[in-house]
Amino acid sequence: MSTFKSIEEAREFFKNDKFATDMGIQIDELTEESCQCSLELTDGHKNAVGGVMGGVMFTLADFSFAVLSNQLHSPTVSQQVSVIYLSVPKGEKLIANAFCKKNGRSSSIINVDVVDDTGRDVVQFIGTGFKL
């Protein structure tokens, strides 16, 4: 059973996640078992050498994890996460696709794949959510 009745309800709830939303992250799609969030890249997302800051990519993946894990059960908080940076983004937009691998009684496992708008794999993120 979903927490949010619509994507608009989820967007309203997560507008208070100021760090992610002020960064420009948006919720694009949301179902009972998956979600997609995205971020248009700007100069404000770059590090000292001109690449996308790792924290930007992490935040996009973490936000997607938060949206989906709280869709499964609210409130849910991060218990443990793992992130692997696969490649440098080449496009102008990052897209995070989160999928539920396990939805248990007290925890959930969410996989998030982040790609850029050229289709390049950028980040692999796995999060364990603890259901409060």
The predicted-structure confidence for 88-100, as pLDDT tens digits, reads as follows 999 999 999 999 9
Which pLDDT band, with edges at 50, 70 and 90, does 114 fall under? very high
pLDDT of 74 reads 95
Residue 1 lies inside a defined structural domain of this protein: no
Nearest to 26 by CA among 38, 35, 15: 38
Q: How many domains does the chain have?
A: 1
pLDDT digits (tens, 9 = 90+) for 18-70: 999 999 999 999 999 999 999 999 999 999 999 999 999 999 999 999 999 99
The domain that contains 126 carries what CATH number? Answer: 3.10.129.10
- Decide if 81 is inside a domain: yes
- Distance between CA 49 and CA 10 in Å, rounded? 35
For 87, the token pair is: 């490649």
Range of the domain at 104: 7-131
